[in-house]
Structure 1
């Protein structure tokens, strides 16, 4: 097995499914050794290259500007690979869907079927979320059938179990409304399923972040606001800044999800190619923003869990954490909110 082939296999499902981790093994880099590390987002929402991670030695990280100090800058492929890594480092999130958009915008080719897909395990976890989006499609094609269908493949499989003539009649009605040929419908189903799988993925992350942050707010209230630091302006201000910014970010993402849901419902009420184009564009145009915000919040809450696994800590340590780890980088999340496309 070649060195390149060995490097291409060194990543886990957990890394591929993460918002804040990019195993460089999935990227077609050519400089020796450059596909072994991974890019990660740190608690300050900065992209760094992690050269190694060890339970005893910790995480060996370098900033992207230091690449010539750790790789062969004289290699003929180094300059080109450096451009690719710098472009990827600018992505606000490393989820597979945002990565697709980033790579395409820089004309970089990656085997999406193999590398830029969520793992089967993650897709299974998203089944409940996907039913919300597949139900109107199933009802359109199969009437009132309300079985637990969560993917385009399952919908196609249902043709074997129902009145094919009636199902085909309904499919033909959908294809006419969308201006598609019958043989283009499987492609539409895959595209529809992929778009809403990405949305389900983001919703699952938000559903983890919201209760997590409520626990953290209690941690700040009980351990700082109600402590001997209650008259310390800096301590109170730190709690206020974190609470206001994270709550605002969560509200922002919720408003986008609401817009996606409403536009999806309108699409199924009055099918047309134009309405599907609007729905598709709306969701894709917010991928970077929503993914980036959720990535930033996830990284910060993960760091909180690492530093305070039992949600304890003295008042002073809690404030130090807020000032050193929570507040830095929040301005980047605010910038993402401001840069988002308007909703209609």
Structure 2
């Protein structure tokens, strides 16, 4: 079991992943550009500054991480990037198949349910066949209310067909901000499904939060003595359980923010998954790298990450984010430009 504690992790500068800029005028804070996936003119400016093209990979000379550009359904491309390594953990954040932010783009688009289900089966075939004999698999999902909660039911059925993979938990992450409406409950949740194959380790210390225990009660006689739950506890803080309420959504005021990366996953959530599902030196796979959060979490926790994305720009951002972490101790750019080469 890995005994790494939060207090043992390197402190990246004086800032935490939820640190906000100290200013009294929020209007002065603006990201240098909008969504990378939906701005074709911006993409034309950024692509010449990307070191990788489709099918290529970058091998980190320091920690052995691998970052590549590959289509997740292309077994040949993916195989060349993963090589002969067999990750023990996969963290996947595929497109949710909903029109995100009222925009239908190539990267964040809405396919027909049939086409999306075929895409899901194809990438599962590629990714899961690359995993080690004893592996953990976490996958993020959203649900489309207009299409009967698609694609969560279809995904669960597809995974049920894969007999070697066993469902272990359904985690709900509560966002601090949600999608408001006056005719329904505010949507403030994201779903995280957890599967395992074989005999895997689960590092329980990763589950403890920074939230102190305050609820007393639950008396029980132990060794002839009547005790209550706080006396029997192994920690002064509560466990996250399968409803995570201590995760801050990423937005432009946070130091970990990566401009242009819409729907970026918080470092704290990925860090928790990586700590729970892997040990020092293990390989962790991220087939939808996007802003590179899994990569920097692996760097912080002394794991080796294999991350790839179909988009060369997101692969480049992932590499630059790792390099920035090492040179400055910062987890992101907040409102600074990850591509200072362009104005």
Q: TM-score, normalised by structure 2?
A: 0.26
Higher RCO (CA 8 Å, separation ≥ 6 residues):
2
Structure with a larger share of its residues in helix = 1
Larger Rg: 1
